[in-house]
Amino acid sequence: MTTIDNLLTSIINYSSPPIEEQISPRDSKVLRSLALSATNQQFLTENQAKLLMKILKENSAKIPEFTESIDEALAEPTWSKNFRKIDHVKKFFIGKNQDSDLILVVEFTFSSELRKLLAGISKSLENFSASTNGKFNTADLTEKNLVILYEALEPHGFDIDESIKNHYKTIKSWTEQTIRDQFLIGNVEYKNFHQAITDDLGISTSIDQNIINDRSIRYQYFLENAKNHGENLVENIANRASSKIWISKEEHNLNEVIGSLVNLHRLPLLVVFDNVASEKYYQNLKLLSDALENNGITDRIGIYFRLPSDGTGKQFNQFIADKEYNYNLDSSTQVAAVMSGKLPKFFLKSPWCPMSVLALDTKMGLRHGKISVYSNRCDLVIEWADAETLISKKIGLR
Q: Where on the phi/psi map is residue 303: left (φ > 0), alpha (ψ -120 to 50), or beta?
A: beta
pLDDT of residue 275 exceeding 80, the answer is no
Selection from 300, 373, 312, 311 nearest residue 337 by Cα? 300
Q: How many CA atoms lie within 13 A of 248 on its CB side?
A: 8
Q: What is the mean pLDDT of residues 377-393?
A: 77
Query: pLDDT digits over 120-137, tens only?
Result: 999 899 889 887 665 789
Min mean pLDDT across 112-116, 164-168, 232-236, 269-273 is at 112-116
Does the pLDDT at position 153 exceed 80?
yes
Q: How much is the average pLDDT of 147-167?
A: 95
Average pLDDT, the chain: 86
Q: At 211, is the pLDDT very low, low, confident or very high (cuts 50, 70, 90)?
A: confident
pLDDT score for 309: 87
- pLDDT for 185: 64
pLDDT given at position 188: 65
Output the pLDDT for position 27.
Answer: 93
- The proportion of the chain whose per-residue pLDDT surpasses 70, expressed as a percent, equals 86
Is the predicted pLDDT of residue 230 greater than 80, yes or no?
no
- Write down the pLDDT at residue 229: 62
HEC string of the chain equals CCCHHHHHHHHHHCCCCCHHHCCCHHHHHHHHHHHHHHHCCCCCEHHHHHHHHHHHHHHHHHCCCCHHHHHHHHHCCCCCCCCECCCCCEEEEEEECCCCCEEEEEEECCCHHHHHHHHHHHHHCCCCEECCCCCEEEEECCHHHHHHHHHHHHHHCCEECHHHHHHHHHHHHCCHHHHHHHCECCCCCCHHHHHHHHHHHCCCCCCCHHHHHHCHHHHCCECCCCCCCCCCHHHHHHCCCCCEEEEECCCCCHHHHHHHHHHCCCCCEEEEECHHHHHHHHHHHHHHHHHHHHCCCCCCEEECCCCCCCCHHHHHHHHHHHHCCECCCCCCCCEEEEECCECCCHHHHCCCCCCEEEEECCCCCCCCHHHHHHHCCCCCEEEEECCCCCCCEECCCC
- Residue 182 reports pLDDT greater than 80: no
How much is the average pLDDT of 286-292?
A: 97
Characterize 326-365 residue by residue with b for buried, 16 or more Cβ atoms within 10 angstroms of its Cβ, and e for exposed: ebebeeebebbbbbbbebbeebeeeebebbbbbbbbbeeb
Is residue 300 pLDDT above 50, yes or no? yes
Q: Is the pTM of this model over 0.85?
A: no
**Which pLDDT score is estimated for 398?**
31
For residues 197 and 300, the model is more confident at: 300
Could you give the strand order of the β-sheet that contains 136-140, starting from the edge strand earlier in sequence? 129-130, 136-140, 102-108, 90-96, 159-160
Q: Is the pLDDT of residue 189 over 80?
A: no
Range in 202-206, 213-217, 358-362 the model is least confident about:
202-206
Question: Among 221, 226, 224, 255, which residue's Cα sits nearest to residue 239?
Answer: 226
Confidence tier at 359 by pLDDT (50, 70, 90): very high
Mean pLDDT across the stretch 342-360?
Answer: 93
d(C-alpha 198, C-alpha 208), whole Å? 14
Q: Predicted confidence band at 248 (pLDDT cuts at 50, 70, 90)?
A: very high
Q: What is the pLDDT of residue 274?
A: 85
Using pLDDT thresholds of 50, 70 and 90, give the confidence band for residue 395. Answer: very low
